[in-house]
């Protein structure tokens, strides 16, 4: 009888909650007992704590990361002008460009570098008189080249909207993601490093005017209970989710350290393989490894081999945004962004979540080595 292969699933959302389930249920119980489901104390407490975590003055809880991006763009007036353009990366999750379209502006893509983030050296040539903002994405949890990006934005008078959906607690020259541009947008989708039991998001800023605007805009344009100053959507962070997030915030530092330790293990064990490129964060960066993305020779065969060895993997993301049907009208045919299009054939994400046991990490590494040895 053969022993079954031990599984290393790519993600393990249920696993994250085992150790903290009692605490979560208690927090949820409190909200239900008080009956304060919409805004109120839990949401405000979370917003204060999250702003502090990011090193900014203000945070506004919203319904999702996508809403965080759309509301930030709208609150900054991006999309108000005919033909407004926003520069962003084509290798992100679709919501980055999608939110620009939803705000009434046009996404303009700029290719990425080896760090999977927008290449600052190519931004200037993409700027036109219609450019309003740059939206760097801190993809994989690694900060984009913010010094260069902020400098270009200053020179051309552009706004900087950080897509921080994958980058809670990521640092760039000692400062946290969400504090580096005019506004930071985060997601608490269950697959993010700080996650709700459902959808959620938050916007961070140091700008008090913007903060007041965002509070009105997430709540139907209501300045007070009975005064509506602008038509807007309903995009509030649920008090239940805020209560969940407040519990998880206490563990986030430890979880993030474990992610980084897992990444360091992979870097040490896979870095010498000729067929593989592992990510290494630069000295002035502190990546949080939302995903651990390697580039691999014979990527699809490697994935199939890992699957046979019980190791789940994923590809983030298999179709670049500019090649999505939704982006067809933007007119970027295949070949427009060669780095992105080259990487997309080679990238694969390995499991990196904090609950991984060392035996599981060894299993992943062993299976990768086995593939290239044979």
Ligand X SMILES: *Cc1c(COP(=O)(O)O)cnc(C)c1O
Shortest distance in whole angstroms from residue 187 CB to ligand X: 3
Q: Does 166 bind ligand X (CB under 6 A)?
A: yes
Q: Which of 8, 12, 16, 65 binds ligand X (CB under 6 A)?
A: 65
Residue at token pair 């805004």? 39
CA distances from 69 to 120, 155, 183, 254 (A): 21, 23, 9, 28
CA distances from 175 to 48, 143, 169, 239 (A): 18, 10, 9, 28
Could you tell me how far CA 100 lies from the centroid of its own chain? 16
Residue 29: Cβ within 10 Å count:
11
Shortest distance in whole angstroms from residue 290 CB to ligand X: 7
Shortest distance in whole angstroms from residue 192 CB to ligand X: 6
Distance, CA of 321 to CA of 327 (rounded, Å): 7
Which of the residues 168 through 207 are near ligand X (CB under 6 A)? 187, 189, 199, 201
Shortest distance in whole angstroms from residue 358 CB to ligand X: 28
Distance, CA of 276 to CA of 178 (rounded, Å): 31
Secondary structure class of 38 (helix, strand, coil): strand
Contact string (CB under 6 A) for ligand X, positions 122-161, x = contact: ---------------x------------------------
Q: Does 291 bind ligand X (CB under 6 A)?
A: no
Contact string (CB under 6 A) for ligand X, positions 82-101, x = contact: ----------xx-xx-----
The C-alpha torsion from 209 through 149 and 163 to 279, rounded to 10°, is -150
Shortest distance in whole angstroms from residue 251 CB to ligand X: 20
- Three-point CA angle 32, 35, 40, nearest 5°: 110
Q: Which of 39, 54, 64, 133 binds ligand X (CB under 6 A)?
A: 64
Q: How many residues bind ligand X (CB under 6 A)?
A: 15
Contact 202, 62 (CB under 8 A): yes
Q: Does 244 bind ligand X (CB under 6 A)?
A: no
Could you tell me how far CA 63 lies from the centroid of its own chain? 15
Q: Would you say 185 or 368 has its CB closer to ligand X?
A: 185
Q: Which of 42, 58, 61, 66 binds ligand X (CB under 6 A)?
A: 66
Q: Does 215 bind ligand X (CB under 6 A)?
A: no
Shortest distance in whole angstroms from residue 236 CB to ligand X: 14
For binding to ligand X (CB under 6 A), which residues are involved?
Answer: 64-66, 92-93, 95-96, 137, 163, 165-166, 187, 189, 199, 201
């Amino acid at each position: 009888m053969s022993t079954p292969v031990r599984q290393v699933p790519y993600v393990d959302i249920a696993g994250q909650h085992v150790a903290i389930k009692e605490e979560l249920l208690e927090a949820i119980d409190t909200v239900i007992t008080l009956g304060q489901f919409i805004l109120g104390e839990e949401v405000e407490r979370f917003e204060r704590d999250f702003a502090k975590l990011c090193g900014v003055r203000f945070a506004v809880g919203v319904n999702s990361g996508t809403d965080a991006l759309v509301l930030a763009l709208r609150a900054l007036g991006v999309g108000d002008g005919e033909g407004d353009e926003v520069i962003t990366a084509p290798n992100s999750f679709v919501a980055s460009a999608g939110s620009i379209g939803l705000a009434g502006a046009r996404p303009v893509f700029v290719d990425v570098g080896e760090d999977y983030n927008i290449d600052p050296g190519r931004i200037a040539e993409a700027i036109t008189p219609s450019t309003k903002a740059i939206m760097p994405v801190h993809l994989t949890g690694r900060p984009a080249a913010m010094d260069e990006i902020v400098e270009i934005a200053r020179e051309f008078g552009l706004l900087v909207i950080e897509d921080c959906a994958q980058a809670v607690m990521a640092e760039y020259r000692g400062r946290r993601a969400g504090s580096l541009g005019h506004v930071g947008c985060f997601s608490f989708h269950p697959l993010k490093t700080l996650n709700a039991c459902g959808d959620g998001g938050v916007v961070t800023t140091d700008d008090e005017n913007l903060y007041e605007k965002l509070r009105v805009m997430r709540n139907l344009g209501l300045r007070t209970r009975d005064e509506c100053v602008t038509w807007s959507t309903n995009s509030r962070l649920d008090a239940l989710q805020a209560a969940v997030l407040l519990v998880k915030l206490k563990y986030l530092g430890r979880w993030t350290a474990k992610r980084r330790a897992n990444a360091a293990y992979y870097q040490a064990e896979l870095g010498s393989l000729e067929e593989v490129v592992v990510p290494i964060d630069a000295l002035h960066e502190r990546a949080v490894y939302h995903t651990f993305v390697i580039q691999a020779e014979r990527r699809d065969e490697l994935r199939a081999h890992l699957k046979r060895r019980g190791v789940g993997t994923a590809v983030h993301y298999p179709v670049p945004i500019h090649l999505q049907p939704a982006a067809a009208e933007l007119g970027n045919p295949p070949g427009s962004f060669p780095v992105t299009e080259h990487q997309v054939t080679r990238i694969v994400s390995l499991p990196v979540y904090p609950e991984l046991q060392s035996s599981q990490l060894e299993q992943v590494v062993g299976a990768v080595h086995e593939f290239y040895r044979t």
